[in-house]
Amino acid sequence: MKSKGFTSRLVHADRLLNTPESGAVHQATNNSVLFEYKDAQELVDVFQGKKAGHVYSRSSSGSNVALQNILTHLEGGLGAITFASGMAAITATMFSLFKAGDHLIVSHFLFGNTRSFTETMQSLGIELSFVDVTDVQNVKAAFKTNTKAVYLETIANPVTQVADLRAIGQLCESKKTLFLIDNTMTPANIFDANSVLASLTISSLTKYIAGHGNVLGGAVVDTGLFDWSSFENILPMYRGPDKAQWGLTQIRKRGLRDMGGTLSADSAHAISIGLETLVLRTDKVCENALRLASYLHSHNKVSAVYYPGLAGHPQHYLAREHFNGYGGILSLDLADDIDPIQFLNALNLVICATHLGDTRTLALPVASTIYFECSAQQRQDMGVSDNMIRMSIGIEDIDDIVADFEQAFAQF
Ligand SMILES: *Cc1c(COP(=O)(O)O)cnc(C)c1O
């Protein structure tokens, strides 16, 4: 099965990686919270990790394991843990691996809610340095003796900065430091996290993986490339005989079991259905986004377009090297005399909504929504202008999206 293509493996994964009953091609969705053991010793053994099984669905269940197996398989990783949302995956990972006194190097260009969460981390004594991750030199300069990890996003939202992924991965490897990548914008068919030596990928399944704006989820995948025996924060009780499992074990116990951001069985199933068409959707999204970016780039009512697929994008060379497609996020600065609110109201097909990675094309004014809690200076530091519009490109027929822009521009 390994030799087959991405989508062939994907649509057959449930049936082959799991053991669905009686010829069912999907793992059955099971909402039971509890699991009965006829022999009490067996319950004890499962509790103590000596035997595989489920004891309580906050920690594990068949529907979650089925999705975890597929994600592990597609990312070529060691194992995965699923969560109720992308933010649940991020917060659980951070809180289970780091403690007061640790230092982390974090991208300057972060998803808004992750950015907000970093303030909570700092309030609890975790020290952070925010750096421009488009150049490895900035990361190198920020290293300290207590640096425990580097955390970044592949393609940042909304300005689409691309991280210097391979160079940062090599730096982390030489420093024996965890390299955590938020891979939401570039799922496994677009980006191979192993190729840049990621330790863990963290992603929102809500976006491209599930794909239809109808379910929340998040995941952490361990690539197997990090040597956990060099990570001093692993608690003694999670240092089992298989060192490769130390990180996932601690995240599963501390981050999922104790913090409780569990993905429901129904959501796990909905995500796995959305996932089947990942390649069909993202291929179309990337193609549409490049077409729209080229159109907007040459339009006189647009002062800037941010899309890694454009030759003039500052990290176009990095995007070309690392990604199989340039993603579905595209931002634009309207000409100064066009009000973003009025412009969005003039669009008909494009939906004015937050969210991204949907089948539908979405747009929103950036400064006054996702960054309204930030100061003007913070927005400027992140490259967010006042008349910026963020688009998440969908799978519609591209001529219809372009026509919608044409008629909207004609009104200004
Ligand atoms: C949406 C998003 C998240 C958070 O995911 P949710 O599923 O909405 O909680 C994290 N990181 C990035 C890059 C995102 O786009």
pLDDT tens, 222-257? Answer: 999 999 999 999 999 999 999 999 999 999 999 999
| Average pLDDT of the segment spanning 40-53 | 91
Is residue 261 within 8 Å of residue 15, measured between CB atoms? Answer: no
CA distance 383 to 404: 27
Ligand 1, atom 8, lies closest to the CA of 86
Ligand 1 centroid to Cα of residue 134, in Å, is: 20
Distance (angstroms) between ligand 1 centre and the Cα of 30 equals: 26
pLDDT of 189 > 90? The answer is yes
The whole-angstrom separation of Cα 345 and Cα 44 is: 60
129 C-alpha to ligand 1 centroid (Å): 21
Q: Given this model, what pLDDT does residue 348 score?
A: 96
Tell me the pLDDT band of 22, cut-offs 50, 70 and 90. Answer: confident
**In this predicted structure, what is the pLDDT of residue 18?**
80
Rounded Cα distance between 95 and 129, Å, is 17
| Section 129-150 average pLDDT | 98
* Ligand 1 atom nearest 217 alpha carbon: 7
Ligand 1, atom nearest to 205 Cα:
7
Q: What is the pLDDT of residue 56?
A: 94
Q: Determine if the peptide bond prior to 308 is cis (ω within 30°).
A: no
Q: Which fold has domain 6-30+61-275?
A: Aspartate Aminotransferase; domain 2 (3.40.640)
Give me ligand 1 centre to Cα 111, in Å: 7
Buried b (16+ CB within 10 A) or exposed e, 305-320: bbbbbbeebebbebbe
CATH number of 280-409: 3.90.1150.10
Mutational test site, ligand 1, from 205, 207, 329, 391, max ligand atoms within 8 Å of CB = 207
Q: Given this model, what pLDDT does residue 378 score?
A: 84
What average pLDDT score do residues 75-84 get?
Answer: 97
Residue carrying the six token digits 């952490």: 220
Å from CA of 16 to ligand 1 middle: 30
Q: Which of 319, 280, 248 is nearest to 49 (CA)?
A: 248
Q: Tell me which of 111, 161, 200 to substitute to probe ligand 1's pocket, judged by most ligand atoms within 8 Å of the beta carbon.
A: 111
**Which pTM value belongs to this model?**
0.96
List pLDDT tens digits, range 339-387: 999 999 999 999 999 999 999 999 999 988 888 888 888 888 878 888 9
**What pLDDT is stored for residue 381 in this prediction?**
81
What pLDDT sits at residue 286? Answer: 98
- Using CB distances shorter than 6 Å, the residues near ligand 1 are 85-87, 111, 114, 153, 157, 182, 184-185, 204, 206-207, 216, 218, 356
pLDDT reported for residue 2: 60
Which atom of ligand 1 lies closest to the CA of 357? 15
Average pLDDT over residues 73-84: 96
Q: Domain map of the chain by residue range?
A: 6-30+61-275, 280-409
In the prediction, which pLDDT does 253 show?
96
pLDDT band at 26 (very low <50, low <70, confident <90, very high): confident
Averaged pLDDT, 387-412: 96
Q: Could you read off the pLDDT of 378-395 as tens digits, one per residue?
A: 888 878 888 999 999 999
Distance (Å) from CA 189 to ligand 1 centroid: 18
pLDDT over 70 at 1, yes or no: no
pLDDT at 335 over 90: yes
Q: Would the CA dihedral through 83, 84, 87, 92 be positive or negative? A: negative
Q: Which residue's C-alpha comes closest to atom 4 of ligand 1?
A: 86
Contact between 279 and 7 (Cβ < 8 Å)? yes
For residue 187, the CA-to-ligand 1 centroid distance in Å is 13
Q: What is the pLDDT at residue 17?
A: 85
**Which of 18-32, 137-151, 194-208 has the lowest average pLDDT?**
18-32
**For residue 185, which atom of ligand 1 is closest to its CA?**
13
CA 268 to centroid of ligand 1, rounded, Å: 16
What integer is the mean pLDDT of 285-313? Answer: 97
User: Which tens digit of pLDDT belongs to each residue from 255-264?
Assistant: 999 999 999 9
User: Which atom of ligand 1 lies at the shortest distance from residue 355's CA?
Assistant: 1
Instruction: Give the range among 67-76, 334-343, 379-388 with minimum mean pLDDT.
Output: 379-388
Ligand 1 atom with least separation from CA of 206: 7
Contact 29, 266 (CB under 8 A): yes
Question: Has residue 33 got a pLDDT over 90?
Answer: yes
Ligand 1: atom nearest CA of 88 is 9
Q: Whose CA is nearest to atom 1 of ligand 1?
A: 204
